[in-house]
Amino acid sequence: RKEVEQDPGPFNVPEGATVAFNCTYSNSASQSFFWYRQDCRKEPKLLMSVYSSGNEDGRFTAQLNRASQYISLLIRDSKLSDSATYLCVVNTVYNTNAGKSTFGDGTTLTVKP
């Protein structure tokens, strides 16, 4: 079983739709969580951090459920420009300034006119 698992996708949605992605992680000691987007053949770009209290940035909402060990990303009013691969990232810190980041394999979103 992978340490971080994401919905395999692909998700094909019309403009204006609401779409949700889920991500589960296996290491209960994980401490910080992020969503990145990656366009084809480009580097991942930070979309948002994920907090236990949930956080929102415009059309994007991220939530963390530590008890169930999953993270979610909700995109409202999808735009054509939202088409990308969305990567879930889980950070585990072993001790001061030592740790690793584990990425999911990503979920591909295509928003169609």
Partner 1 sequence: DAGVTQSPTHLIKTRGQHVTLRCSPISGHKSVSWYQQVLGQGPQFIFQYYEKEERGRGNFPDRFSARQFPNYSSELNVNALLLGDSALYLCASSFKTSYEQYFGPGTRLTVT
By the criterion CB under 8 A, which residues form the site for partner 1? Answer: 4, 31-32, 34, 42-46, 49, 87, 89, 91, 93-94, 96-106
Instruction: State the Cα–Cα distance between residues 113 and 106, nearest whole angstrom.
Output: 23
Taking the least distance from each CB to partner 1, the nearer of 94 and 113 is: 94
Name the residue with tokens 């969580």. Answer: 33
Length of the chain: 113
Smallest distance from partner 1 to CB 51, Å: 12
DSSP secondary-structure letter at 42? S
DSSP secondary-structure letter at 81? G
Smallest distance from partner 1 to CB 72, Å: 17
Smallest distance from partner 1 to CB 34, Å: 6
3-class state of residue 91 by DSSP: strand
Taking the least distance from each CB to partner 1, the nearer of 75 and 106 is: 106
